[in-house]
Amino acid sequence: MNALLVYPEFPETFWSFKHALKFIHKKASSPPLGLATIAALLPSDWKIRILDLNISPLTIQDIQWADIVMVSAMVVQKKSAHEVIQRCKNLGKIIVAGGPLFLGEWQQFPLVDHFVLNEGEITLPLFLEDFLSGNARRIYQTADFAEMALSPVPKWELIELKAYDSLSIQYSRGCPFNCEFCNVTAMLGHKPRTKSASQILAELDKMYELGWRRNIFFVDDNFIGNRKHLKEEILPALIQWRKDKKGCHFITEASINLADDPELMNLMREAGFVSVFVGIETPVEDSLNECNKKQNLKRDLLTAIHTLQKNGLQVMGGFIVGFDNDPPNIFQKQIEFIQKSGIVTAMVGLLQAPYGTKLYERMEKQGRIVKDLSGDNTNGTTNIIPKMGLNALQSGYRSLLEELYKPEGFYMRVRTFLENYSLPEAGSTQIHLEEILAFFRSIWELGIMGKERKEFWKLFFWTLLKYPRKFPLAITFSIYGYHFRQIFEKNVLQDQSMI
């Protein structure tokens, strides 16, 4: 049996980092972890190919080779997923689909033969048993949650690793919190389920044996959901693993209460964590209350962010506008907060209601769901009717992004970060050939040809003189800014519907 596992294309978004990746000659940020894991669950006698449309096109020859085509996608990949399924069905292929996109919207894909939904460790074996006996049903679902011990080491050998900036690993599933707009708990539950240290090390060993030395992203929705297990087993194992290793710094996602735990921050820094994504959402307490973001309430969010930075963790921040309780000046409040925070990678999106969330239920009862979810909350669209009115929301959002990403504001934010951030002692980041080439390209693209050249050179020399060890970060963030401006100008500034 020849199985072609296809990962649809992402649109250009702030999160794609497409324009930054070209500086280091990479095609995509991360490979499809889900498909690499599914590949390891398929029969050992099957021939398997993984095709990521973000780095390679889907050819007729690819489709003709396959006996079965398996598609996994997130909501933001919907358009590409439809195209892939249509092309494969035109050539008479059996199509199997799974992943977050199909979990909530499988009815919109009539050409798919079989849906393997929820967690593949449970539903894929059931499908395979029926499929191989010729009795496969159309839909395989489960309300149960998989034991993480069942999750195999992903088949990274099927991936063109050199095309990516980072690899991914999943330590846990589930989140103890219950934010109204988030569908994580609907899909994966409240109780964090974790892999053992031996499982994590086996995955890391495989990456390292394949020659991987770049960043590794722990894709958990909340890495610190089970602190006891982290402190007693996982982080000590990671500290030991990295002792004789080069490169391989870690990135993850965590809730803001990480800043309350000095021991945990210290262990994460020792283990090689350099960056953490945090859902800040909004500085407005009433809006945090509205969306049940309890972990962010009754705390000084700016102090918490600066605490993480001073403990050697770069903070990437997620922000949202469009809550019912947002005041008229929410856009200026967000700008002021983000600038003071020094969060360089500040992703601001419009509030959206994913299927399966409490927010979706509330908006549907109020008659405020207006269209399908795009999956991209940073493109100025939303599937709900905002209380402040769509025109006001989009106009304010456009102005907010313009302020955040214009060179003056962006480079000032980089300087604020560099002043707050404590670079780990061990830690100057390992410099790869790609980074050296990116440095010279940044001088040309940003320092000579770029609109931001004045701000670029001011940061360039300021960092060299004041914080020379942080100079690589200054260049990296300058390149990020270039990407953000490209996306803003192309997807937001030129979108007449947002004027």
With a CB cutoff of 8 Å and minimum separation 6, the contacts of 39 are 5, 48, 50, 154, 155, 158
How many other C-beta atoms are found inside a 10 Å radius of the C-beta of residue 122? Answer: 19
Reported as a pLDDT band with limits 50, 70 and 90, residue 425 is confident
b/e burial code for range 65-79 (CB count within 10 A of at least 16 → b): ebebbbbbbbbbbbe
For residue 274, give the H/E element and its range.
Answer: strand 273-281
DSSP for 14-76 reads GGG-HHHHGGGT-SBS---HHHHHHHHHS-TTSEEEEEETTTSPPPHHHHHH-SEEEEE--GG
Indicate the residue among 420, 443, 464 that finishes a domain.
420
Residue range of the domain that includes 229: 148-420
Would residue 165 count as lying in a domain? Answer: yes
Same structural domain, 332 and 398: yes
Stated length of the chain: 499
Same structural domain, 122 and 188: no
What distance in Å separates the CA atoms of residue 401 and residue 422, rounded to the nearest whole number? 28
Please identify which residue in the block is written with the tokens 């940073």.
378
Reported as a pLDDT band with limits 50, 70 and 90, residue 378 is low
Same structural domain, 445 and 409: no
Partners of residue 173 on adjacent β-strands? 193
What's the rounded mean pLDDT across residues 244-263?
96
What is the percentage of the chain residues whose pLDDT exceeds 70?
A: 97
Same structural domain, 464 and 365: no
Same structural domain, 354 and 395: yes
325-338 per-position pLDDT tens digit? 999 999 999 999 99
User: Average per-residue pLDDT in the chain?
Assistant: 94
What's the rounded mean pLDDT across residues 86-99?
98
Same structural domain, 449 and 356: no
pLDDT at 424: 85
What distance in Å separates the CA atoms of residue 483 and residue 405, rounded to the nearest whole number? 10
pLDDT at 428: 43
Would residue 365 count as lying in a domain? Answer: yes
Reported as a pLDDT band with limits 50, 70 and 90, residue 130 is very high
CATH of the domain at 327: 3.80.30.20
Would residue 427 count as lying in a domain? Answer: no
Indicate the residue among 107, 140, 173 that finishes a domain.
140
Same structural domain, 298 and 321: yes
- Cβ–Cβ under 8 Å, residues 373 and 391: no
Would residue 425 count as lying in a domain? Answer: no
Indicate the residue among 364, 396, 420 that finishes a domain.
420
What's the rounded mean pLDDT across residues 124-128?
98
- Cβ–Cβ under 8 Å, residues 390 and 498: no
What distance in Å separates the CA atoms of residue 90 and residue 309, rounded to the nearest whole number? 52
pLDDT at 499 over 50: no
- Cβ–Cβ under 8 Å, residues 273 and 250: yes
pLDDT at 493: 66
Would residue 455 count as lying in a domain? Answer: yes
Same structural domain, 39 and 182: no
What's the rounded mean pLDDT across residues 398-405?
96
Would residue 492 count as lying in a domain? Answer: yes
Structural domain count, the chain: 3
Same structural domain, 215 and 250: yes
What distance in Å separates the CA atoms of residue 479 and residue 21, rounded to the nearest whole number? 9
- Cβ–Cβ under 8 Å, residues 14 and 425: no
What's the rounded mean pLDDT across residues 144-162?
97
What's the rounded mean pLDDT across residues 127-133?
98
How many other C-beta atoms are found inside a 10 Å radius of the C-beta of residue 64? Answer: 12
For residue 463, give the H/E element and its range.
Answer: helix 453-466
Reported as a pLDDT band with limits 50, 70 and 90, residue 372 is confident
Same structural domain, 321 and 234: yes
CATH of the domain at 54: 3.40.50.280
pLDDT at 401: 95
189-206 per-position pLDDT tens digit? 989 999 999 999 999 999
Same structural domain, 255 and 381: yes
For residue 399, give the H/E element and its range.
Answer: helix 390-405
pLDDT at 426: 54
Would residue 426 count as lying in a domain? Answer: no
pLDDT at 390 over 80: yes
Higher-scoring residue by pLDDT: 498, 153: 153
Least confident of 30-34, 189-193, 284-288, 409-413: 189-193
Same structural domain, 472 and 374: no
